[in-house]
Structure 1
């Protein structure tokens, strides 16, 4: 096994003649790992060499633009979530319908996020999508769960939600095209030893699989399908005008499960991700956790208000019943 000191500027497996930048790019952006024949079936039963990598990175200016766009999308989501918590009853219908276009899952931002993910392997200098891409997808999923507009007409609502579903699935696939080579290279580094025949030649005790075995997060995952299922059930409830019953119960249960799965993914990625760009990763997932906490506070407030309203109705009903009984007793005596 390779030493964790590989992530430090100086590590024993790095040879002085190798270019550090190209060395990282070879492992983390490798598209195809070729298996070669080996004569040492005991110490090197599986010998791999990187056969093909993604093209070189875009200039840092592209990373800066993506970083600014991501920050703007997050701030928009944060502001809208806070507005929903504070002014959910006072907000106009126009504001409710217009704000969703600026969310990461809206018709303006989501196509741009898909474009960024499709070029993700080359956005890898200041703001590497191999590290931050999962948090961007989670931001999209959170905004999709939060952008349920009741004031829309059926056709407009169905078109908007269906386009969001399609965008989420495309974004998930493009994200996997970014992170799977990254995780494969991470496994090739941490689960192998260098054979010394070339810069990317490694010996392994077990076969190398796509995505590796060290990090199991995927964009195309159960979390994504649960969120997509919630959106599809919203369409069904909207078209059939379902206000109660099993369909609504299943939708609410899947929505709660989606929030749980997003939280689990955040915790897993913080604990198990490769130890590089740690501060950037902590900032990204810390922002996601803040949105999750705000949602929990919002749901708790709604539950408390609902329970208080139900308690007030029961108290009013009990008072009314006592008044009626008192009036009946008074009329009997008279």
Structure 2
């Protein structure tokens, strides 16, 4: 749990009536804060009370299953990235069967959506309020890194469209987890207890959805840029190299690079600005995301190197096979 000395000023009369350890979950899982009338306009201009909370957490066995699934999804992504780096010509080392194992694949992504939909109750040993953003970033990295171009147009469009829908749904469900969490965090840090009830707090400013301390959302520019990249991939697949296909392909490459920048910025921001809870778990999760980003950069560099080496070999073979003619 968080540091009570930082978040909760010590009020002996308050602590004698309510257990501080039981208050934290109520703040973090509150989905409706009610502003009540106050008679003290100076010391308590805004008085809030939690009106509604999410249901109790699932058993820790559910957290274990989610942890195992997330770990396996991450390891699959990591292994495929490493195998792809060892491919000489920089082609994607990914068959149609392996695609189903990726976090952005047609099997794993619906499971992730289901996990996020039940996320407020998965909060025992693997809290999605802390780890959920890293899982979404894993899905975005997976969708950006692996793109099977050998599919037929209809099949490719179907899978790409399902990925887009899955990413948008996952982002919305993630916000239903993290926004109440960040709102409760703001209510704890920037408020004082009035003592009238467990969650009754006095504030100097209005409490807003998501709070003002952590400005991260799953439904964000990062998500929309990644979705835009997938849409451009569909257009490139349909148009090919004609009818403006080259221009669309150029825009797609620029947006892909911009997507990686946004993902990196989100990861850095969450590492430095997340609530001080489950620090070790959060460091491990976002450290793993940083590793995937680093491997992608290395893979791109290797791909450029192998392409240049391949072109150089072709030029050498052509120059050797072509006889030198002297006038």
* Pairwise same-fold verdict (TM > 0.5): yes
Aligned to 2:29: 29
Q: Secondary structure at the match of 1:296?
A: helix
Q: 2:292 matched to 1:291?
A: yes
CA 140–61 in structure 1, closer or farther in 2 if over 3 Å, else same: same
Larger Rg: 1
CA 87–275 in structure 1, closer or farther in 2 if over 3 Å, else same: same
Q: Answer with 254-263 or 190-199: which moved more.
A: 190-199
Q: Secondary structure at the match of 1:102?
A: coil
Q: Secondary structure at the match of 1:70?
A: helix
Q: Secondary structure at the match of 2:123?
A: coil
Aligned to 1:6: 4
1:129-168 to structure 2, matched below 5 A, reads 129-168=128-167
Shift of 1:20: 3.9
Q: Secondary structure at the match of 2:295?
A: helix
Aligned to 2:102: 103
Q: Deviations over 1:57-109 (max 9, x none)?
A: 1011111110111111111111111111113659898x522111100000110
Shift of 1:265: 0.4
Is the 8 Å Cα contact of residues 116 and 173 (structure 2) preserved in structure 1? yes
Q: 2:257 matched to 1:259?
A: no
Is the 8 Å Cα contact of residues 9 and 192 (structure 2) preserved in structure 1? no
Q: Secondary structure at the match of 1:182?
A: helix
Q: Deviations over 1:109-142 (max 9, x none)?
A: 0010000000000000010000000000000001
Is the 8 Å Cα contact of residues 135 and 288 (structure 1) preserved in structure 2? yes
Shift of 1:149: 0.3
Unaligned runs of 5+ in 1: none
Is the 8 Å Cα contact of residues 35 and 49 (structure 1) preserved in structure 2? yes
TM-score by length of 1: 0.89
TM-score by length of 2: 0.91
Q: 2:221 matched to 1:222?
A: yes
Q: Secondary structure at the match of 1:216?
A: coil
Residues in 1 aligned to 2:209 and 2:50: alpha-carbon distance in whole angstroms: 13
Aligned to 2:66: 66
Q: Answer with 254-263 or 83-92: which moved more.
A: 83-92
Residues in 2 aligned to 1:274 and 1:9: alpha-carbon distance in whole angstroms: 10
Residues in 1 aligned to 2:160 and 2:112: alpha-carbon distance in whole angstroms: 17
Aligned to 1:82: 82
Q: Answer with 157-166 or 190-199: which moved more.
A: 190-199
Q: Secondary structure at the match of 1:87?
A: coil
Unaligned runs of 5+ in 2: none
